[in-house]
Amino acid sequence: MSWQAKLLGMHMRAVVKPWLARIDSPGDFAADVGRFNLLLRRPPFLRRFSRPDGLTWLSAGETAEGLAILYFHGGAYVAGSPDNYSGPLGQLSFLSGIEVCAPRYRLAPAAPFPAAYHDAKRAWRKLRRLGFAPEDIVIGGDSAGGGLALALLSKLCRRGTPPRAAFAFSPWTDLAMTGDSLRENRDTEAMLPAERMADVVDLYLGTHRRTDPRASPLYAAFPNCPPVLLQYGETEILRDDSRRMADRLRGYGAPVTEEVVPDVPHVWQILDGWLPEARASLESTARFVQDSFATPTSR
């Protein structure tokens, strides 16, 4: 663990985590998340652009033509936007040489489940209409967006049109909250207050089943699944969401790579430029994306 991660973890446990535990409204959370993301560093030559699909696209440096990363942002389904992620996604584009498509999806409480899931499917259809074949796309996301990416992956696998590969940073895959790490890592978690998770689930899912695979991909099916990369922290309360997700995917024959980092904040990858661990994880993700596109597919 770097000294930067150690200091940041101490600060987040002392300041950020108690603040999140006290927040009363999603609006307050969304506003403060937006201000925090202003601290995220951007790579040189970052470019934001749009195509006729109405989606947000990001790139930095030279990129390959005809390939895309479809990325869903985190924020517990109540906050966040592609605007907040310009820096880390621009860096991922620079490191991988692939353009990143970061769609907006509707948020609770104004648009509860299954709005975000339907928006994820809509973003995929828009890429297809632009001429991207399934094997031209890698899908990914972080936290709630990571769960959304994996839920979309299940849909595409069951349809017989899976993407080239998928990755997720600390994904939230079990909104039934049955993972042991919710209890075991309650104190070691640097950012998320375990006692507030049920409130967010209620806000997003309402009366829907907590094990609905469109919200909790841990309970989904993944036939003919492409390679998947999962990165998560050993001390996170969502650690077991990734561990068990890896087992679930392997049960369907998927090639799964797990990268576990000790004592880092939730979704540390977005802190590129602040934490050495963030750059190392983004570089590893970029290699995974490049290797996926370089490997011939039988589909």
Average of pLDDT values for 24-40? 62
**Does the annotation mark 258 as catalytic?**
no
**Does the annotation mark 73 as catalytic?**
no
Report the amino acid identity of residue 35.
R
Residue 111 pLDDT exceeds 90: yes
The verdict on residue 151 lying in a domain is yes
**pLDDT digits 0-9 by tens, 138-182:** 999 999 999 999 999 999 999 999 999 999 999 999 999 999 999
Q: According to the model, what pLDDT value does residue 50 have?
A: 85
The verdict on residue 175 lying in a domain is yes
DSSP-derived 3-state class of residue 12:
helix
Q: According to the model, what pLDDT value does residue 297 have?
A: 75
Residue 70 pLDDT exceeds 90: yes
The verdict on residue 178 lying in a domain is yes
What percent of the chain clears pLDDT 90, i.e. is strictly above it?
75
In the set 99, 135, 236, 277, the catalytic residue is 236
Residue 47 belongs to domain spanning = 3-294
The verdict on residue 290 lying in a domain is yes
Average of pLDDT values for 39-61? 86
In the set 93, 154, 242, 266, the catalytic residue is 266
In the set 143, 154, 170, 242, the catalytic residue is 143
What is the edge-to-edge ordering of all strands in the sheet holding 46-49?
Answer: 46-49, 56-60, 99-102, 68-72, 137-142, 165-169, 228-233, 256-261
Q: Which of 77-81, 153-157, 189-193 has the highest mean pLDDT?
A: 153-157
Residue 253 pLDDT exceeds 90: yes
**Does the annotation mark 143 as catalytic?**
yes
Q: According to the model, what pLDDT value does residue 130 have?
A: 94
The verdict on residue 207 lying in a domain is yes
**pLDDT digits 0-9 by tens, 195-228:** 999 999 999 999 999 999 999 999 999 999 999 9
**Closest by CA position to 254, among listed 116, 124, 146, 156:** 156
The verdict on residue 74 lying in a domain is yes
Which CATH number characterizes residue 189's domain? Answer: 3.40.50.1820
The verdict on residue 299 lying in a domain is no
pTM of the model: 0.94
Number of structural domains the chain divides into: 1
Q: According to the model, what pLDDT value does residue 277 have?
A: 95
**Closest by CA position to 232, among listed 285, 272, 153, 164:** 285
- DSSP annotation of 150 reads H
The verdict on residue 176 lying in a domain is yes
CA angle, 143 as apex, 142 and 149 as ends, to 5°? Answer: 60
Q: According to the model, what pLDDT value does residue 38 have?
A: 60
